[in-house]
Structure 1
Amino acid sequence: MEMKGETRPLVIQRSNARLSYRFFKRLADIVLSGIGLILLSWLFLILALCIKLHDGGPVFYSQTRVGKGQKKFRMWKFRSMVTNADKLKEKLMAQNEIEGAMFKMQNDPRVTKIGKFIRKYSLDELPQLWNVLIGDMSLVGPRPPLPKEVEQYTERDLLRLMVKPGCTGLWQVTSRSSASFSEMVNLDLIYIERRSLRYDFILILKTIKIMIVPNETA
């Protein structure tokens, strides 16, 4: 009985700590994404003009992704590929360079010239600040997968959907291009175990550094 009495306050303390973390994390997401959208509005305009003038196609690209608790949402990006990229993907599946429930090509022929530039500096991801502001995503967390990818997930892989997906995370600031799918899952689970406001802040700073000085392996 004494052990139960000693354990219960500890469980409550941990629960309250997690609740506090989620509250301040959401508050930080709203404030930082809102500020980011305002301060970067000039960059949004420049990128939109460059993409539009390049081939006349849509400026933004949206895609259904899977978030926390397997909830689906519409994720936004600046378009970095040709307009029929999704149809061409089926023809390129045999050239997938990564094992597991994910598609990756180092030199994807669908990427446009302007797309290569904005991808190098991760500028194509900036519209996801809107996803963060409305609550679909967080600034830091596992990347949201496609529904078709989730269909191939093991029970262990599904653990990465326990938290809200993010614009950046541990995987993105370490070995984004070279990591296998299983390594990505491992990094996501490490983040979920260690997550805290301090840890999130460190990952955000590392992300900003990579955007300014891109890592060749990222």
Structure 2
Amino acid sequence: MPVKIRLQRHGKKGKPFYWIVAADARAKRDGRFLEKLGIYNPNTNPATIDINVDNSVKWLENGAQPTDTARAILSYKGVMLKKHLAGGVKKGALTEEQAEEKFNAWLAEKEAKINAKKDGLTKAKEEAKAAALAAEKEVNEKRNAVAVEEAAEEVAEETTEAVAEETAAVEEAPVTEEAPAEEAPVEEAAPEAEASAEETKEEAAE
């Protein structure tokens, strides 16, 4: 029975994720399978891949043929490398310890690259967020400056209008001239009073 390692589609419309399965080549793509080897989720960045390396190597050694996409995923996770190293162990070219050491070194290097990519994506996201915040702050500052300027113009207009109204009211008011104060008439001393005063002086002299 020819066996293929391929992707089986799951998920909803527009956001699919896949199972990596070993299945009969004659079975439908999303039909029955012999073993589930892992998952592949392309909706994340970087893509999420979780695969059973040892079981995948066993299927490959037993003659299973991966599809092009499945081969790329297996190679990305080191399955093809481990199969190659296992072949070298069988031929006596290297020991199992050496093969395991090489595989672990490859995994460490691959993990470092993935982490560097994640860090780069995180940094780029933070920089984009900071730039968006700076742009929003600049827009808000401009908006506030315009609002202050408009408020100042309104106050200036109101002040100008008030001054104009006050000036117009002063110009329209009638000017009232004050009448000069009348001098009080000086009363002339009565002749009788003068005569009595003279008589009083004469009596005092006697």
TM-score (ref. length: structure 1) = 0.23
- Larger radius of gyration, structure 1 or 2? 2
TM-score (ref. length: structure 2) = 0.24
